[in-house]
Structures are given as C-alpha cells and as structure tokens.
Amino acid sequence: MSDKIEFYRHDLGDRELTSLRETIDSLFLTLGPRVAEFETRFANYLGADHCIGVSSCTMGMVLALRAFDIGPGDEVITTPMTFAATSNAIEHVGAHVCFADIDPATGHLDIQAVRAAITPKTKAIIVVHLYGQMVDMLAFRQLADEHNLRIIEDAAHAIESQRDGITPGQLGDAATFSFYATKTMTSGDGGAVVVRDKTVAEQLRRLRTHGVTKDAAARHGSTYQHWDMIELGYKANMTDIEAALLLPQIERLDERRQARERRVLRYRELIDQMDDIDLIAPRGTSAHHLFTIRVPVDRRDAVLTKLGKNGVGCTVNYRAVHTLSYYREVLGYRPDDLPCALKFGQRTISLPLWPALPLEDVNTVVDRLYTILA
C-alpha cells in the first residue's frame, strides 16, 4: 500500500515565515497594525465594507449576535447540518436555538422550513454556506426583510464563494469566517467578521476587546490617556501574529480555489458512475472547501473505517447537530424532528481535498472507495 493520503495539508511556507519575521521584529505582537492591514486587504478581497479580525468564527458569531442585541427570550433559526459552533454561538448569548430542516439536494437550510419556523420571537437566521456553496442569499434576504430579521452568514467554508454575483457578507447583516487549521486559509486559529454597517463595525471592535473604548494599539501614543469600558465585551481579537500568517495567503486564494476545483472535477467525473453515491447539487461558484459524498446509511461507518485502514484520511461533515447529546438532553431535540438533516448526516463522508493533493491520489481514493462499496 502506498503512503497515507492525508485529508488535508496546509501549505504555509517561506512567504508566511518572512511575513511572521516582520511582526516578530516589530513592537506589536497582538492587536496592532498587521491586524488592521489584514482587515483592509480581506475586505477588499471580499468586496466588503468593514472587516473585524477576531479570534475565531465562533466568537465572530457570538459578537455579531451581541451587536444585534440578541439574547435571552429571542429565537434564532439555523441549520443542524453544520459544525456545532454555529448553534453553540446562539446558546452562548442565551438565545433559543431553533433548528429548521435542510434541502437534501444541497444540505442547505430549506427556506420553506425556515419560513415555517418564524415566530414573533424570531430575531435572526444564521445560514451556513455548506462545503463552499452559498445558500440562495437573494431569497433569504427577501424572507428576512419580510419579517424584519437579521441574517448572519456562517461563511467558514465560503471565503472564495460567489452566487448570483454576490459574495458572503454582501447581503447578510454579518458574515463570519474561520482561519482554523483545516480551512482554506489558516493561521492555526483565527476569524473575521464582515459587516455593511459602520456603527455595527465599531461595536464589534469594542466587543472583541472587553467593551473598552480604546484598544491597546490605539492607547499606544506619546502620552497616556484614560480609557473607559462601556459594555461587557469579550477577549476575542485577532493577533498580529495571526494576521502576519494570513496576509500572504490572501493573494493566493483564487489560485488555490482553482487547484481544489480541478481535484473536485476529477472526483465528480470518477464518482458520477457509481450508483451508491450521491453528490451535492452544484450551486453558484463554490469555494470547494470540502468534497463530501453520501453513501448508503447502513454502510457509512464501515466505509469510513475501511477507508481509514486503507490509508485514506476522511471525516464526517457532519452528523446533524440536533442529534448530539447536548442538543437532545438540554434542548430536548429528537433525531426525527429534522428527518432530512438526520438522514443526510448519517450518510456523509468527506474525502481528501487540498490544492496540492496529487491528482493520481484522487484516482486512488476513488478506486479504494469502489472496492469497499462493490
């Protein structure tokens, strides 16, 4: 058997080391000029008005919910087909997580199910651009406007995505991004929020640094000036070290997306002929963050084990969040409450995908899959 085919490999290298060196040689290590530089450059890349560097996508969602004044007594609708971070953010601000079911063709929130879940207490919808394909933001924006709701886009998979000429953050009230180790751009951990409203942007900047009126870099000057704390915020800022690692990666986002796309096209071409496997229906321009297939329910776990034993790194994105113990035991969700998400989550397997994944490894992965399923 040949070497292990990893699920993911980052490709940080000399460019990032040079950039990091610059920061280590400077005065600021945490929230400082590199974060500001990153925010400008990332906002430009996305075509966004304001970008705020934060410690994670999860904290980005918490901050956005807080900035929209969402908390106890409020309901937020979201999808169970996501990482637990999405609904956890709602729990963290004390609002009620209201899961709506998904469209099995895409794994996206089903807009009709969202419409049916709206109550007088609903304040926001958190949509997830699953695997790199954006939800239909035109339709979600219209629905949200009809009911005076906020939309937060969990864009952890969608840095490079587009649909109907729109990028994440252009129609939502906020979009949050992750730079966790397996994401398409990474600083180990880290995140960003983009928003269209200047006042919201200012509040997010305060909320990421405890709610104080001047952050450390702004306080650094010739003479000491007092600062105040005007609301209860968090410790959730991006650091200059993270920004230094991220800055050189912005220039390569599109080239790396194209490299992933070539691997996805190869996968699709080879897998299309296999009866037992369902693929995600394409929507818009995908970031191709993950390549996820669905195998028969009764075979999923065995396929995962056998692929692993055959040297193929694979994972599950995701088991439906409402079936996890916390959401069953504390919030009282039952697996059958959201039948489409339940079934989808019982069938998913994500296969290796990264820009430098050798194309012949794609063939090897599919061959092994074929043998296991035959």
Ligand X SMILES: *Cc1c(COP(=O)(O)O)cnc(C)c1O
The residues carrying an active-site annotation are 183
Nearer to ligand X, 285 or 315 (CB): 315
Distance of CA 141 to the CA centre of its chain: 19
C-beta closer to ligand X: residue 38 or 83: 83
- Answer yes or no whether residue 56 interacts with ligand X by CB under 6 A: yes
Provide the edge-to-edge strand list for the sheet that holds 50-54.
50-54, 191-195, 174-178, 150-154, 122-128, 75-78, 96-99
Of 32 and 191, which has the nearer Cβ to ligand X? 191
Stretch that binds ligand X, among 19-27, 54-62, 214-222, 261-269 (CB under 6 A): 54-62
Extract the tokens encoding 188. 């180990």
Span from 154-162, 230-238, 258-266, 356-364 in contact with ligand X (CB under 6 A): 154-162
Least Å from the CB of residue 219 to ligand X: 27
Q: What is the DSSP letter of 231?
A: S
Q: Segment contacting ligand X (CB under 6 A): 44-52, 82-90, 92-100, 330-338?
A: 82-90
Binding window for ligand X (CB under 6 A); candidates: 43-51, 80-88, 166-174, 328-336 = 80-88
* Residue 58 lies near ligand X (rule: CB under 6 A): yes
Among 178, 187, 249, 323, binds ligand X (CB under 6 A): 178
DSSP string across 34-70: HHHHHHHHHHHHHT-SEEEEES-HHHHHHHHHHHTT-
Residues β-bridged to residue 127:
153
What distances in angstroms separate CA 185 from CA 193, 280, 336, one per listed residue? 15, 23, 36
Least Cα distance to 68 among 89, 51, 98, 99 occurs for 89
Q: What are phi and psi of 319, to 5 degrees?
A: -80, 140
Contact status: 156 vs ligand X (CB under 6 A): yes
Residue of 77, 117, 128, 264 interacting with ligand X (CB under 6 A): 128
Residues 184-213 that bind ligand X (CB under 6 A): 191
Which residues of the chain form contacts with ligand X (CB under 6 A)? 56-58, 82-83, 85-86, 128, 154, 156-157, 178, 180, 191
